[in-house]
């Protein structure tokens, strides 16, 4: 459907109903609820062998909620194959920065020295995290951040990492298509859990070097 605005109340209500905005600059706000929905669940999450090596090498320094606006602006600016322009409009950046200030939207930053090498941002409600976008200025940066975040969130009891639509990138980490009814049941269960509202600063610091939870699989050349 089309219309409405990106006020915090409307955005939070939409996400709680499995709906998210996705539109082009200059057009009306468009709202989407794909069927099937693409998401990672605790029972499907796995880490390909090449990515397990990446996590152990720790080539980037991770922070959370340190540079939210910069991550969004970087996601908007990155050139993506087959994509003309960006759906991350200035209006959307301001709307999600407001959700960040309210403690609902969060960012992961991957640093190489003092330079932002990659990152991602999304929204957290109850036991669900809705991944919105990610970028890499250096190879592996967003993958390192995303896998580290998903691992920690599932360890903390999250039951849904929503990627919205299918991508081969997320499929390589355990993303699966979920029919609308099953997705809404999972979302409703997640929303019955307490919100992790507030800053996530420090969430990914001092991760243990030992065995990385998550089902291992043979490296098939995926992400």
Collapse the DSSP code of 216 into the 3-class scheme (helix H, G, I; strand E, B; otherwise coil) and give the result.
Answer: strand
Task: Identify whether 26 is part of a domain.
Answer: no
Residue 128 within any structural domain of the chain: yes
- Cα dihedral angle (146, 105, 204, 61), rounded to 10 degrees? 70
Helix (H/G/I), strand (E/B), else coil: 107: strand
Structural domains of the chain, count: 1
Q: Is 223 within the bounds of a domain?
A: no
Cα–Cα distance, 132 to 20 (Å, whole number): 9
Identify the three-state secondary structure at position 75. Answer: helix
Rounded CA-CA distance 55/43 in Å is 20
Give the integer Cα–Cα distance in Å for 85 and 127: 32
Polymer length of the chain: 223
pLDDT tens-digit map of 167-199: 898 999 999 999 999 999 999 999 999 999 999
- Structural domain contains residue 20: no
> What are the C-alpha distances in Å from 183 to residues 44, 156, 159, 175?
14, 20, 11, 13
Q: What is the mean pLDDT of residues 92-110?
A: 98
Q: Which domain holds residue 74?
A: 35-217
Residue 3 binned pLDDT confidence (cut-offs 50, 70, 90)? low
Confidence of residue 82 (pLDDT cuts 50, 70, 90): low
Residue in this structure with the two tokens 């991550």, named with its chain if needed? 71
pLDDT tens column, 31-57: 999 999 999 999 999 998 888 888 888
Query: What is residue 212's three-state secondary structure?
Result: coil
Tell whether 21 is covered by a domain: no
Whole-number Å distance between alpha carbons of 10 and 145: 29
Residues 6+ apart with CB under 8 A from 94: none
Q: Does a structural domain hold residue 171?
A: yes
- Please indicate, yes or no, if residue 18 is contained in any of the structural domains: no
Query: Quick check: 213 pLDDT over 80?
Result: no
The per-residue pLDDT of the chain, averaged, comes to 88
How far is residue 24 from each of residues 2, 160, 171, 214, measured CA to CA in Å?
A: 12, 27, 26, 37
- CATH number of the domain within which 157 lies: 3.40.630.70
Phi-psi region of 151 (alpha: psi -120 to 50; beta: other; left: phi over 0): alpha
What residues does 136 pair with on adjacent strands? 118
SS (H, E, C) 158-180: CCEEEEECCCHHHHCCCEEEECH
Q: Is 93 within a domain?
A: yes
């Amino acid at each position: 459907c089309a219309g409405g605005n990106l006020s915090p109340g409307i955005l939070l209500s939409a996400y709680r109903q499995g709906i998210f905005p996705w539109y082009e600059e200059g057009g009306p706000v468009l709202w989407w609820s794909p069927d099937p929905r693409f998401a990672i669940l605790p029972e499907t999450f796995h880490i390909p062998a090449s990515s397990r090596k990446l996590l152990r090498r720790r080539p980037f320094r991770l922070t959370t909620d340190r540079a939210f606006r910069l991550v969004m602006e970087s996601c908007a600016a990155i050139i993506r194959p087959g994509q003309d322009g960006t759906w991350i409009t200035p209006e959307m950046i301001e709307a999600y920065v407001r959700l960040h200030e309210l403690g609902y939207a969060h960012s992961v930053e991957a640093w190489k020295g003092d330079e932002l090498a990659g990152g991602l941002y999304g929204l957290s409600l109850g036991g669900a995290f809705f991944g919105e976008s990610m970028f890499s200025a250096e190879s592996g940066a967003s993958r390192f951040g995303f896998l580290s975040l998903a691992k920690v969130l599932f360890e903390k009891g999250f039951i849904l990492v929503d990627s919205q639509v299918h991508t081969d990138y997320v499929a390589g980490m355990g993303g699966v298509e979920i029919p609308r009814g099953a997705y809404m049941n999972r979302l409703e269960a997640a929303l019955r859990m307490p919100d992790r509202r507030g800053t996530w600063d420090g969430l990914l610091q001092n991760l243990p070097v030992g065995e990385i939870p998550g089902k291992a699989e043979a490296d098939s050349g995926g992400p």
